[in-house]
């Protein structure tokens, strides 16, 4: 699998989203950070392909 890091970040971000609804709203910060890291990782791969 090429994008193991992206998949892992996505799964953890979904976990943070679930915790946001089940436990407390503050977990949304973790999800936002992971989404940002995912975008950064995907853009880095796209730049190297060009």
Q: Using alpha carbons, select from 32, 50, 45 the residue that is nearest to residue 4.
A: 45
pLDDT at 1 over 90: no
The pLDDT value recorded for residue 44 is 82
> Which pLDDT band, with edges at 50, 70 and 90, does 49 fall under?
low
Number of folded domains that form the chain: 1
Range of the domain at 29: 4-49
Cα 26–Cα 24–Cα 4 angle in degrees, nearest 5: 65
- Which pLDDT score, from 0 to 100, does residue 22 have? 95
pLDDT at 26: 94
Would you state the pLDDT for residue 34?
Answer: 95
Convert the pLDDT of each residue in 2-41 to its tens digit.
689 889 999 999 999 999 999 999 999 999 999 999 999 8
Q: Could you tell me if 49 and 13 are in contact, meaning their C-beta atoms sit under 8 angstroms apart? A: no
Helix/strand/coil for 2: coil
């Amino acid at each position: 699998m090429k994008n193991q890091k992206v998949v892992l970040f996505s799964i953890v971000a979904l976990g943070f989203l679930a915790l946001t609804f089940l436990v407390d709203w503050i977990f949304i910060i973790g999800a936002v950070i992971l989404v940002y890291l995912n975008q950064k990782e995907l853009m880095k791969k796209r730049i190297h392909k060009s």
